[in-house]
């Protein structure tokens, strides 16, 4: 069982829960204030990127349905 779970929400964010850290491009940690659950913006409209602030409502559509990726290229 994974210690981190990502849930791709329909028409919305990616919910991240469990034991995780989030870092920027320089490797600096975001201070999550002890949270074990955050939502990451997928629409690009959040004023709190990379975190979701709900700005996607009515402006972002994506039906999240799991599928298998093709085999890795060698």
Give the pLDDT confidence of 27-40 residue by residue, as tens digits: 999 999 999 999 99
**pLDDT of amino acid 61:** 94
Q: Which of the pair, 60 or 1, is modelled with greater confidence? A: 60
Token pair of 14 as six digits: 């990616």
Token pair of 69 as six digits: 């990726």
Asked if 13 and 56 count as a contact pair (C-beta separation under 8 A), the reply is: yes
In a domain, 70, yes or no: no
**pLDDT of amino acid 1:** 58
In a domain, 73, yes or no: no
In a domain, 31, yes or no: yes
In a domain, 74, yes or no: no
56/39 Cα distance (integer angstroms): 12
In a domain, 10, yes or no: yes
Note down the domain range covering 54.
Answer: 1-65
In a domain, 71, yes or no: no
Mean pLDDT of 7-28: 97
**pLDDT of amino acid 74:** 87
pLDDT in tens, 25-71: 999 999 999 999 999 999 999 999 999 999 999 999 999 999 999 99
The total number of structural domains in the chain stands at 1
In a domain, 45, yes or no: yes
């Amino acid at each position: 069982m994974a210690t981190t779970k990502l849930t791709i929400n329909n028409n919305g964010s990616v919910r991240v829960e469990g034991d995780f850290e989030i870092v920027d491009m320089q490797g600096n940690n975001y201070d999550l204030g002890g949270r074990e659950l955050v939502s990451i913006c997928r629409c690009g409209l959040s004023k709190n990127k990379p975190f979701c602030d709900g700005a996607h409502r009515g402006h972002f559509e994506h039906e999240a349905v799991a599928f298998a990726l093709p085999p890795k290229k060698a």
